[in-house]
Chain A
C-alpha cells in the first residue's frame, strides 16, 4: 500500500477552516488508488520477460487451437494416398509420407461440387431401372464431401466454424508445410486439431484436480485436529503409490469389452475417463498446499484485525482469505497443467489415452516413432509435433515459475 502523502501539515492550514481541510484530505485520498495484490503481481510479472513471452505464446496457441476450424487447413483425418485434387489426374502424386513442401493443394471442393451436380443431373434423366444404382452412388459420393471430412463428429460450434471457413477461404488450403504421414494426412492440420484435444484434456483434468485438491485441503486445514491428521495420513499413503501404474491398470479395466458398452450408455468415453483419472491423481500436492495456507491464515493477525474493526465474515472470506489462497492455487494450477498434459501425451503415446480418430500430440509423436524405419527417416513426423509439444510445456513451466515469483515474492529462488 502506498502511503498517502500530506503536502500540508495541519499547522500550515491553521487559517483555513477544519472542514475545508478535511474535505481536501478526503478528495486527495479518493484520488490515490491503492495497489491491489493482483496489480502488484501483474507489475512484477511484466518485468519477467521469459514469463511474458510464454504468456503471449500460450495465448496465441490457445487462440489458434480454438479457431482451428476457421483456419484454411487440410483435413486432419481424410486418408489421402493419391492427390485426387491435382489439376490433372494423370499428374496426381503419391501423398503418402510427402516431405514438407510449398506445393499447393486444394480441398477438392470444386471438383466435388461439379461431380455432385453431374450425378444429380444424371439422376434426373435416369430411367427407373438405373435409378437405384445411381442413388446408391450419389449417397456414397456424399460421404466424400470434403467439408464433412474436416472433423470427426464435430459439435455445433465446430461445424459453424467449418462452414464459415468454407465461406471465407473456399477451396483454398495451406500446403503441407510439415509434410504428410503414412496415410497421406497433413501433419500440420493434425497438429492443430491435436492441440485442441491436448489442451482440453489438460485444462479439464487440471480443473478436476483443482476442485478435489482445494476442497480436500481446505476442509482438512479448516477442521484441524484428528480429522486433519487422518486426512493428511491418507494423502501420505496415496503419495507412496506409483499412481501412473495404477491409472494404467484402471484404464485397462475400464476399456474392457464388457465395461465399455455400459460406460458408453452413460456417455462416458475414453476422454472423459482420462479427465477424471488424471484429475484424480494430481490433486495431492494441491491439497497439501491449500491446507498449509488455510492453517496459517486461520491464525493470521490481519484476519483478527479485520474482525476487530467490524468487517463482516463475507468481507473477510472474499477480501482476505480467498485472494491469499488463490495466489498459491493459481501458481500450482499453472504447474499442474504441463504435468497433466505430459501425462496425457504419455498415455496416448502408449496407446492407452486418446484413441483414433481423435488426435492428440502424444498420438502424433507415437505415429512418428512408428514410422521410423532403417530405410528412410521421416523426420517431419517426429520433429514438428515434438517441437510444438515441447515449446508448450516449456512456456507453461516458465509461466508457472514467473507467476510464483510474482504472486509470492517470498518464495523466489526457493
Chain B
C-alpha cells in the first residue's frame, strides 16, 4: 500500500508543479499582451471602468494580481470570468463542458479498445487469412486518414446519404455514437496493429505450448494466457491515446456541434477569451496527468513483474 501512496503523491506533486508552470507562463504572457482588458468592449464611462478595474483587480501591480489570482484559484477554485460570454465563471463553463467531453472521450476510448483488441486477436489467430488482411488494410487506412476527414466523410455517408444518425447536437445516445466512432477509429486501428504484433509474438512462446499441452482449449489459451501477455504494448499506448483523444475531441466537438470543453476552448481561442482558454489548458494538463497515472497503475495490475518506481 505504501508504494502506491508514494507513487500517487509523487505524481500529484509533479502535476501541481507542471500546472503551476503552465499557469504562470500563460498568465504573464496574456497580461503582457492585453494592456487595457476592456478596450474591445463598448465605450463605458470613467466611473464604470474604474469600478470594473477595481473589481477585477486590474488597478493593482501585476505581481499582486498574479498572487491574488493564484490565491483565488487554489482556495476557491475561482478561475475568473469569461470575457466574452456574459461574464460566466470559467469554472461553470468547465463544469458544463466536462461531463459532455468526458462521456464522448470515454465512449471513444472504450470503442477503440474493444474493436482494436478483438480485431487484433482475430488477425493474429487467423494470421495471413483474408480476414487478417482486410483488418490490417482497414487499420492502415484508419491510421493515415485524419479524424476530421473521416468525420466529414462519415457525415456525408451516414447523416445525409443514408440518414441513420443525426447531424449533430448533444443529449441522446444516437447523437453520441457517430462522433465517438470517428474519434475512436484511428486509435482502434493502432490498437489492432499493436495487439496483432503482441499476440503473434506471445503465441510462439513456450508457455503457450505448455498450456495447449496440458489440454486447455483454444479459447482459454488465447483469451486467458496469450492476451494477457500481448496486451502490455496496448496498455502503454493508452497514455498517448488519451492525449490524442483529448486533441481529437477539439475537432469532433466542432464538427458535430457538441457543447463540450473542446468547443468552448476553440471558441475562446478564436475570440481571444484568455481566462477561458487558460482554464481549459489547465484542466487538460491535469486530465493528461491523471490518465497517465492510471495507465501506469494498470500496468502493475496486468504485469506482476512491473513495480511502481
Contacts and interface: CB of A to CB of B under 8 A. Distances in A.
B251 A242 contact: no
A240 interface: yes
Nearest to B281: A245
A151 B264 CA distance: 35
Contact of B152 (A255, A351, A368, A397): A368
A35 B299 CA distance: 44
Interface SS of chain B: helix, strand, loop or mixed?
helix
A259 B29 CA distance: 11
Interface SS of chain A: helix, strand, loop or mixed?
helix
B150 to A, nearest CB: 8
Interface string A331-349: 0000000000010011001
Contacts of A251: 269
B243 A382 contact: no
Contact of B146 (A350, A377, A390): A390
Interface in B143-162: 143-146, 148-149, 151-153, 155-156, 160-161
Interface string B283-296: 01101110010000
A390 B143 CA distance: 10
B144 A393 contact: yes
A390 B152 CA distance: 13
B160 A374 contact: yes
Contact of B33 (A244, A256, A352): A256
A393 B140 CA distance: 11
B250 interface: yes
A336 B163 CA distance: 38
B149 to A, nearest CB: 4
A413 B33 contact: no
A365 B148 contact: yes
B274 interface: yes
A52 B10 CA distance: 48
A382 B150 CA distance: 10
Given A242-B247, A394-B144, A413-B197, 6 more contacts: A251-B269, A252-B272, A349-B148, A352-B269, A372-B156, A393-B144
26 contacts: A237-B18, A240-B18, A240-B289, A241-B288, A242-B288, A244-B247, A249-B26, A249-B281, A250-B29, A251-B269, A253-B29, A346-B247, A350-B250, A350-B254, A352-B266, A365-B152, A372-B156, A377-B156, A377-B160, A377-B161, A382-B153, A386-B153, A390-B146, A393-B146, A394-B144, A397-B143
Interface of A: 237, 240-242, 244-246, 248-253, 255-259, 342, 345-346, 349-352, 365-366, 368-369, 372, 374, 377, 379, 382-383, 386, 389-390, 393-394, 397, 413
A-B pairs, top 9 by smallest CB distance, nearest first, are: A386-B149, A394-B144, A382-B152, A252-B269, A390-B145, A245-B281, A242-B284, A369-B152, A393-B144
